[in-house]
Structure 1
Amino acid sequence: MKYYITVLLVLLGFFSKAQENYAALTGKAFGVMEEAKDETGYRKALDLYEEAFRLYPKNIDGEGLHDASLLALKLKNKDKAFQYLTSLSLIKGDGVNFPGWSYIIGKNPEKEYKDLLSDPRWNTLKQKSAGDKKQFYNELQTKENEFYSTNKSSLNNIGSPEALYKEIRNFNPYRPKKDRDYSVSFKISDSVTTSFFIHLPQNYNPEKKYSLLFFLHGAVRNNELIDYQMAEWNLGGWNRYYTKYADQNDVILVFPRASKQYNWMLSDDGFSMIPEMLKQIKKTINIDDNNVFISGHSNGGTGSFSYLMKQSTPFAGFYGFNTYPKVFTGGTFVENIKNRSFINFSTDKDYYYPPNANDDFTKLMKGISADYKEYRYNGFPHWFPQFGESEPAYQIIFKDLRDRKRNPFPKKISWEFDDDRYGNVDWISNIKLDTLSKNINERKELNFKINKWLVYDENDSLMVKDVDKNAFDFPRKSGKIKAEYDRNVFHIETSDIKSFSINISPEAVDLKEKVKVYVNGKLYFDKKIKYDQDFLLKNFYNTQDREQVWVNYIEVKI
């Protein structure tokens, strides 16, 4: 847990001087503890921890007490070890602290405190911790149940599809919420659970539709999934300006938790997390479907960019701090950005992605007339959000968020992909690649070379390193579809696609007239389309989207 806490502290940042001083002193103590090989070293480390506790009693945290108890045990002072363990067990979990019971229950504590297991005081402590854990999760479950509570409302018994359509468009089963902050567990699979933390506006009104912003954290390789979260892990520190401007603008904030295996960048195992979390939230919170956004820092910025490239339909816009603009699980088809937008905040001293590459990426975006903006902040390293000078970037985000809305029925669509799981964009869905096609992919790959990269040397000084790498990789054959419509006439051009569906909305076409579909220059469909009640209901349950409501579809096979 020590390493995870350290990563969490890095992500959060520090504010008060006392907190900084306490962290510096306990950090020094931890360093001495790690290097200690005998009683003298252990004593020196414990003295430093105890000095920190004495000087900054209000800042005493679980990790400090945990380390102090282990050091006391190494010094064979069981009484002092239990003294610190007892204090540790009283921590309820706030700020950057985990609940005290999490240090005492489980396999790791049994190993760390093996010399205490025979002491009756350990069993007493363990029993208390078990009770605390049970109470903690009971309270968490009670809050989660309240979060998901809605008014009873059934769409299944509505008689006509036209009436069902109107009901879905105006669907509102929402209730007021008792709290502003909720930690909600989330099942990635039957055996894997994580969580998201959601922060509501001050006076949440279930009759009003709200904008929503996901924040994707960085350092996914060094994080672990956890089935609960605390407010200060997310709302303070580096995220303080998200909280400040979300509160000012009545924007809902959502903070998911990822790991090395289940995340939004390195693996597709967890990529479905964000759209699925959004669907769950829409069931209980009144979200404006045309005002859902994603932002992130570092790996989280790359994750935001990846959703733009691979699964943009539910979202209106995308933002990233210190972003690496690349899809790491397949091809990076940058023209997909033309369906939405991206704003990147970069720095000139960033080891994660170099400024020269950002310059070339911006040129590429300008060349394809993408809705892309980059704001460069000079003199700052990768951890730019830590600094107060980052605040103007958040003002840019929330101004853009206020002004931007998703168009649920865009007249033109262009989409390229190399994985059937991501063959959906707005009113074109279920696109399938023609894997048997022997055509050579003649589409021009948009790419560029990166020849300079910033790295830290052994003295922690930033230096320029020569590299020879492509900005993007294209490991698999892709397919592409271009589609547009005007009134009731659709024109579709495909390349290496074997099938797809055109979703139909009465907001986009006149159902009293025939719909014509031309595929690769040939008339494919010329008929009137009726409401399909089963499809309408199934699609709404699948998306929870009250703006992009499809009443039927046209299946096209090439």
Structure 2
Amino acid sequence: MKNYIFIIITFLSTQIFSQETYSNLISKAENLIEEDKKDLALDYYTKAFNLHKDSINSFDLYDAAELSNEVNQATQCFDFLEKLVKKNSKPFPGWYFILDKDSRIKFKNLLKDNRWLNLVETSNKISKKFYDSIQLTNDEFFRTKKSSNVDINDKEKLYKSLRNSSSYLSKKEQNYSIFFPINDTLKSSYFIHLPKNYNPNKKYTMLIFLHGAVNYNELRTFSTDDNLKGWNRFYTKYANKHDVILVFPQADKNYNWLTSDKGFYMIPEIIRQIKSTINVDDNKVFLTGHSNGASGSFNYLVKQPTSFAGFYGFNTQPIVRTGGTFVQNILNRSYINFSTDLDYYFPPQANDDLTALMQSLNIDYKDYRYNGYPHWFPEFNGSEAAYKILFDDLMNRKRNPFPKKLIWETDDVKYGKVDWIEITKLDTISTKKEWQKNYNFKITKWLEYDNNDSLQIKDVDKMAFNFPRKSGLIKAIYSKNRFDIETSSVKSFRLYISPEMINLSKKLKIYANNKLIYNQKVDYNSFFMKENFNKNIDKEQVWINSIDFEL
């Protein structure tokens, strides 16, 4: 009779727990940990795993293993870890957790245990197969037809060949995780999503997305299609609709697009790599991002915009942290910001003042405000309207590779180039001209969360932009084989030449600060053409030569 009652009680308790979802059981476990009821929390983890085997998340298994280790339940800990190694779920397969450096810290008391050594051995074997598989797809992705450009001796034919080069092949996959070495020991990756029926004979628009929270992200040697989900779901939806290539790079606190120049080279290099094997429309490459990623998009706009047709950002803090924020540089391109009124990252008043400044300078800049949304706007379905605006603009916008007029300011000649003009040396000792101004505005209100996670308005007294170094500015226009250049605090500059801009059969006149400094013909330079093309792989902006000037 007692056995019968025990069976009934066990059955009823199982039924009660089985009625709870996996997420509810995990949530209860996490709450119990906060209440310092760790043994009971382990029970809920175990029940969640036993009752919902198809729902098990690798992160939850890892958390349960860590908790087991904390309460000295080594057998249970290894049970969870062994289940973890067998999982191949995304974004992190189980073996990744075992080999991750943090695991050697969290499970340091187990490192000499044979069971741990076996887990490491198994993880190494699985990871090798995993990376070998990625290497095969990388090899296939970068496979192209042999280029004939190197065999062309005639300079004009070489130019035409570069402009029309087509060494592209079909691709076996739609999604690729691409290895991206940072240096000899450090590696990252980026994820690329191609249109479903990618045709190597057709040019495609490309949109690169920069993620946020760079200080809290780690470089990963592989990327998964999780990039296409969650907060990025609307990028995927509209990119698929319009046959747009999507690219998702990985950054961390040291190598990124915002806080340090060490990683700023990554995006131009990724573009170059992709263009070497995918038929990208050079005049339709765009950059977007959220939070730190949106600020990164803004940074490329102000510091290195040549490769891009337009820029976008969700919840942008529009500032260059590695130098001056020279807003006049935005005259060369465009920016669309999607802001919210409950954003702690950059306040509504500041966005309004920035928009007013941009309009006063006739800059192609727009800010779309969405009320009632916090900083994590892309998480909400209400953000879809913003993505429609973004893709409508993207489909109708095109880069002019040879604009008649350029203006460029920099405090670092590493970022001295825009399109066909480049500042190669600054003269910061000289007095700058009256028309070289630092445009700025004051911010007096900022939004901030208090200890109760309540958003408060805080009084501040700060300028929007910093200008830590002296800068130089150059303005240039061309028409009918004549260039007119004006400079302020510039010692030397370089002019890039294209037959799409001038008539090579006639003399080229170049005036700098109202003085004639060049009056002769320009010819093709084969070595320069090849070198410059290989550096940028831009079939629209093929420079045939460059001319340097010292002022």
1:430 to 1:193, Cα distance in 2 relative to 1, 3 A = farther
Aligned to 2:77: 81
Aligned to 2:406: 413
Aligned to 2:192: 198
The one-character-per-residue Cα deviations of 1:248-288 (angstroms, maximum 9, x if unpaired) are: 11100010111111111111111111111101111111110
The one-character-per-residue Cα deviations of 1:434-486 (angstroms, maximum 9, x if unpaired) are: 14435587622211100000111111111110000001111110100000001
Aligned to 2:98: 104
Quote how far apart the aligned CAs of 1:239 are: 0.1
Residues 342 and 372 of structure 2 are in contact (CA less than 8 Å); yes or no, is this contact kept in structure 1?
Answer: yes
Task: Determine whether 1:210 maps to 2:204.
Answer: yes
SS in 2 for 1:218: coil
SS in 1 for 2:355: helix
Aligned to 1:364: 357
SS in 2 for 1:549: coil
After TM superposition, the structure 1 = structure 2 runs for residues 367-406 of structure 1, keeping only pairs within 5 Å, are: 367-406=360-399
CA–CA distance in 2 between the matches of 1:305 and 1:76? 50
- From 242, 245, 257, the counterpart of 2:235: 242
Quote how far apart the aligned CAs of 1:214 are: 0.5
Aligned to 2:55: 59
Aligned to 2:336: 343
Residues 338 and 369 of structure 2 are in contact (CA less than 8 Å); yes or no, is this contact kept in structure 1?
Answer: yes
Quote how far apart the aligned CAs of 1:317 are: 0.1
CA–CA distance in 1 between the matches of 2:433 and 2:548? 26
One-letter identity of the residue aligned with 1:88: L
Residues 441 and 477 of structure 1 are in contact (CA less than 8 Å); yes or no, is this contact kept in structure 2?
Answer: no
One-letter identity of the residue aligned with 1:80: Q
Aligned to 2:26: 26
Task: Determine whether 1:127 maps to 2:121.
Answer: yes
1:21 to 1:287, Cα distance in 2 relative to 1, 3 A = farther
Aligned to 1:3: none
1:281 to 1:192, Cα distance in 2 relative to 1, 3 A = same
Task: Determine whether 1:465 maps to 2:461.
Answer: no
1:81 to 1:557, Cα distance in 2 relative to 1, 3 A = same
CA–CA distance in 2 between the matches of 1:100 and 1:471? 45
1:149 to 1:430, Cα distance in 2 relative to 1, 3 A = farther
Q: Return the TM-score normalized by structure 2.
A: 0.93
Aligned to 1:320: 313
Residues 409 and 472 of structure 2 are in contact (CA less than 8 Å); yes or no, is this contact kept in structure 1?
Answer: yes
Q: Return the TM-score normalized by structure 1.
A: 0.92
CA–CA distance in 1 between the matches of 2:530 and 2:423? 17
- From 176, 188, 192, the counterpart of 2:170: 176
1:24 to 1:523, Cα distance in 2 relative to 1, 3 A = farther
Quote how far apart the aligned CAs of 1:76 are: 4.2
Residues 418 and 477 of structure 1 are in contact (CA less than 8 Å); yes or no, is this contact kept in structure 2?
Answer: yes
Quote how far apart the aligned CAs of 1:28 are: 4.8
- Show structure 1 runs of 5+ residues with no match: 1-17
The one-character-per-residue Cα deviations of 1:502-530 (angstroms, maximum 9, x if unpaired) are: 11111111111111101000111111111
Identity across aligned pairs (percent)?
54
Task: Determine whether 1:508 maps to 2:504.
Answer: no
1:421 to 1:31, Cα distance in 2 relative to 1, 3 A = farther
One-letter identity of the residue aligned with 2:222: Y
CA–CA distance in 2 between the matches of 1:525 and 1:209? 38
Aligned to 1:91: 87
- From 249, 255, 262, the counterpart of 1:262: 255
After TM superposition, the structure 1 = structure 2 runs for residues 406-445 of structure 1, keeping only pairs within 5 Å, are: 406-437=399-430, 439=432, 443-445=436-438
CA–CA distance in 2 between the matches of 1:317 and 1:402? 11
CA RMSD of aligned residues (A): 1.9
The one-character-per-residue Cα deviations of 1:319-375 (angstroms, maximum 9, x if unpaired) are: 000001111111111011110000000000001100011000010011001101110
After TM superposition, the structure 1 = structure 2 runs for residues 275-314 of structure 1, keeping only pairs within 5 Å, are: 275-314=268-307
Residues 350 and 380 of structure 1 are in contact (CA less than 8 Å); yes or no, is this contact kept in structure 2?
Answer: yes
One-letter identity of the residue aligned with 2:261: D
The one-character-per-residue Cα deviations of 1:219-274 (angstroms, maximum 9, x if unpaired) are: 11111111111111x10000000000001111000101111111111111111111
Quote how far apart the aligned CAs of 1:27 are: 4.8
Task: Determine whether 1:534 maps to 2:515.
Answer: no
Quote how far apart the aligned CAs of 1:179 are: 0.5
1:408 to 1:437, Cα distance in 2 relative to 1, 3 A = same
1:531 to 1:111, Cα distance in 2 relative to 1, 3 A = closer
SS in 2 for 1:314: coil
One-letter identity of the residue aligned with 1:122: W
Moved more, 321-330 or 433-442: 433-442
Task: Determine whether 1:547 maps to 2:537.
Answer: no
CA–CA distance in 1 between the matches of 2:446 and 2:384? 27
Aligned to 1:227: 221
Quote how far apart the aligned CAs of 1:118 are: 5.1
From the CA coordinates, give the structure whose radius of gyration is larger: 2
1:139 to 1:395, Cα distance in 2 relative to 1, 3 A = same
Aligned to 2:3: none
CA–CA distance in 2 between the matches of 1:21 and 1:502? 65
1:107 to 1:549, Cα distance in 2 relative to 1, 3 A = closer
CA–CA distance in 2 between the matches of 1:217 and 1:108? 23
The one-character-per-residue Cα deviations of 1:35-85 (angstroms, maximum 9, x if unpaired) are: 63xxxx321221232243345433211111112223334444443323212
Quote how far apart the aligned CAs of 1:420 are: 0.8
Aligned to 1:8: none
Residues 423 and 490 of structure 2 are in contact (CA less than 8 Å); yes or no, is this contact kept in structure 1?
Answer: no
Residues 141 and 277 of structure 2 are in contact (CA less than 8 Å); yes or no, is this contact kept in structure 1?
Answer: yes
One-letter identity of the residue aligned with 1:341: S
One-letter identity of the residue aligned with 1:424: K
Moved more, 313-322 or 255-264: 255-264
Task: Determine whether 1:68 maps to 2:61.
Answer: no
Aligned to 2:8: none
Residues 93 and 230 of structure 1 are in contact (CA less than 8 Å); yes or no, is this contact kept in structure 2?
Answer: no
CA–CA distance in 1 between the matches of 2:435 and 2:407? 16
Aligned to 1:483: 476
Quote how far apart the aligned CAs of 1:297 are: 0.4
CA–CA distance in 1 between the matches of 2:505 and 2:536? 26
One-letter identity of the residue aligned with 1:69: A
